[in-house]
Amino acid sequence: MPALAQLRRLIDQAEGDAVKLAAVRDVLDRCGLKPADLVAVDNTVRVHVSYEDRGLAPSPEPPGTHRNGQHALNGQQSG
């Protein structure tokens, strides 16, 4: 309680307004009535996508062949 009494004395009897204002702010701060803190927020989201070929895809057929094994150029059955 001596600290509160000292703050009260400063608020009532201090010569300068700066001292009185500081005492008032201290009292209000300790009562939970301090100004809100401003926080700057950057809402930037960065996404990096990379592709790695692991050889799981079927190998491409040679040019000129169809899925049923026929050669595209002369219609012959392959091997």
pLDDT tens, position by position, 9-37: 999 999 999 999 999 998 888 888 888 88
Question: 65: helix, coil or strand?
Answer: strand
pTM of the model: 0.43
Q: How far apart are CA 26 and CA 37, in angstroms?
A: 16
Angle, CA of 14, 20 and 23, to the nearest 5°: 115
Of residues 74 and 52, more confidence is placed in: 52
Contact 11, 24 (CB under 8 A): yes
